[in-house]
Amino acid sequence: MSNAAAASQTSDLTTPTPALWLELNRLEANIRSMHGHLHALGVTLRPHLKTCKSIDVARLLLAAGAERFTVSTLAEARYFLAHGLTDLLYAVGIAPGKLAQCSALMQAGLKLTITLDSAAAAKAVAEAANRHACHYRVLLEIDCDGERAGFAPDAAALIDAATTLEKSGCHVEGVMTHAGGSYHCHDSDCLQRAADNERDMTVAAAERLRKHGFAAPVVSIGSTPTAAFAHDLSGVTEARPGTYVFQDLVMVGLGVCGLDDIAISVLSEVIGHRAGPGELVVDAGWMALSADRGSAERGLDCGYGLVCDVAGNVLEGLLVKHVNQEHGVIAHRDGRPLEMHKYPLGCRLRILPNHACATAAQHAGYHVCDSSVDTGMYWERCTGW
Name the site residues for a second copy (rule: CB under 8 A): 11, 14, 16-19, 50, 72-73, 92-98, 101, 117-118, 120-121, 124, 146, 148-149, 180, 269-274, 276, 281, 283, 286-288, 290-293, 322, 324-327, 329, 344-346, 348, 357-358, 361-364, 383-385
Shortest distance in whole angstroms from residue 5 CB to a second copy = 20
Choice between 158 and 233, CB closer to a second copy? 158
Contact 71, 85 (CB under 8 A): no
From 190, 188, 295, 195, select the one nearest 236 (Cα to Cα).
195
Q: Is the dihedral of CA 12, 13, 14, 19 positive or negative?
A: negative
Three-state DSSP at 105 gives helix
End-to-end Cα distance, the chain: 42
Shortest distance in whole angstroms from residue 292 CB to a second copy = 5
Rounded distance between C-alpha atoms, residue 360 and residue 57, angstroms: 13
Contact 66, 88 (CB under 8 A): no
Choice between 113 and 237, CB closer to a second copy? 113
Choice between 36 and 346, CB closer to a second copy? 346
Contact 58, 52 (CB under 8 A): yes
Shortest distance in whole angstroms from residue 234 CB to a second copy = 28
Shortest distance in whole angstroms from residue 163 CB to a second copy = 18
Choice between 59 and 273, CB closer to a second copy? 273
Helix ranges restricted to H, the chain: 24-40, 55-63, 74-82, 99-107, 119-132, 156-167, 188-211, 224-229, 249-254, 286-289, 356-360
Choice between 23 and 292, CB closer to a second copy? 292
Shortest distance in whole angstroms from residue 277 CB to a second copy = 9
Choice between 199 and 367, CB closer to a second copy? 367
Shortest distance in whole angstroms from residue 180 CB to a second copy = 7
